[in-house]
Amino acid sequence: MRKITAGMFVALDGVVQDPQDWHFPYFNDEMGAAVGAQMDADTLLMGRVTYEGFAEAWPAREAEGGEDAFFAGKLGDARKIVVSSQDLELTWRNSELLRGNLLEAVAALKAEPGGDIAISGSVSVVRQLLAAGLLDELHLLVHPIVVGKGMRLFDSGGTLSLELLSSTTFTTGVVHLVYRRAETGGAGGYEQAKAHMPAGD
């Protein structure tokens, strides 16, 4: 079974929108290694907005031959599957449109032979796959900044329990948290909390 991993830049107040406006001051080698490891997959799954942003930027960077051309080439060589309800003109090589129901199509994709599947951004896709139990790992790079406006990763819907797999703090103050879907929530309760409250005289 193929593994699906999603990576997300997140502000301290949960905002994930327009990370290019607040993320880069916190970029360092630790961040680069984390992002590179997440994107080292042979298949990329992304929503329309993310795809259009990537397709506008990365092919040009590959053609320019600058210092990020190698990474741009890896993205270009990967199989790219785009989730969209619209018919799109997919100009970036190795791109295809996901057909049919999202959850059914992704379940079938996981069952195919091949390497890991990576998701970058694509908030709506991540929410749906996480809720359905199809996302194996959610990597959150939590930045020590409050953006104050914009789309948040979790801004609607019911309760969702997660299990923390690892936690790494970068020298910039960014915390790399890795979660997976948990079947149940915590085991504690008010009685346990009450036992730790200060007692009166």
165 in a structural domain: yes
95 in a structural domain: yes
Confidence at 98, pLDDT banded by 50, 70, 90: very high
Q: Check pLDDT > 80 for residue 111.
A: yes
Q: What's the rounded Cα separation, in Å, for the pair 139 and 38? A: 8
131 in a structural domain: yes
200 in a structural domain: no
Strand order in the sheet with 162-169: 95-97, 79-83, 43-47, 117-120, 4-11, 137-143, 175-181, 162-169
Number of domains in the chain: 1
Q: What's the rounded Cα separation, in Å, for the pair 39 and 41? A: 5
Query: pLDDT for 60-78, tens place per residue?
Result: 999 999 888 998 999 999 9
Q: Check pLDDT > 90 for residue 142.
A: yes
71 in a structural domain: yes
Name residue, tokens 């791109």. Answer: 95
Query: pLDDT for 143-192, tens place per residue?
Result: 999 999 999 998 776 788 999 999 999 999 999 999 999 877 666 676 77
As a whole number, the mean pLDDT across the chain is 91
Q: Among 64, 62, 80, which residue's Cα sits nearest to residue 72?
A: 62
Residue 53: which CATH number? 3.40.430.10
Task: Supply the pLDDT for residue 193.
Answer: 74
Task: Supply the pLDDT for residue 172.
Answer: 97
> Does residue 42 contact residue 82 with C-beta atoms inside 8 Å?
no
Residue 80, exposed/middle/buried by CB under 10 A (0-12, 13-18, 19+)? buried
201 in a structural domain: no
Task: Supply the pLDDT for residue 103.
Answer: 96
Q: Which structural domain range is residue 109 located in?
A: 4-195
Q: What's the rounded Cα separation, in Å, for the pair 74 and 137? A: 22
Confidence at 198, pLDDT banded by 50, 70, 90: confident
Q: Check pLDDT > 80 for residue 131.
A: yes
Q: What's the rounded Cα separation, in Å, for the pair 181 and 64? A: 41
152 in a structural domain: yes
Task: Supply the pLDDT for residue 106.
Answer: 95
Task: Supply the pLDDT for residue 185.
Answer: 63
116 in a structural domain: yes
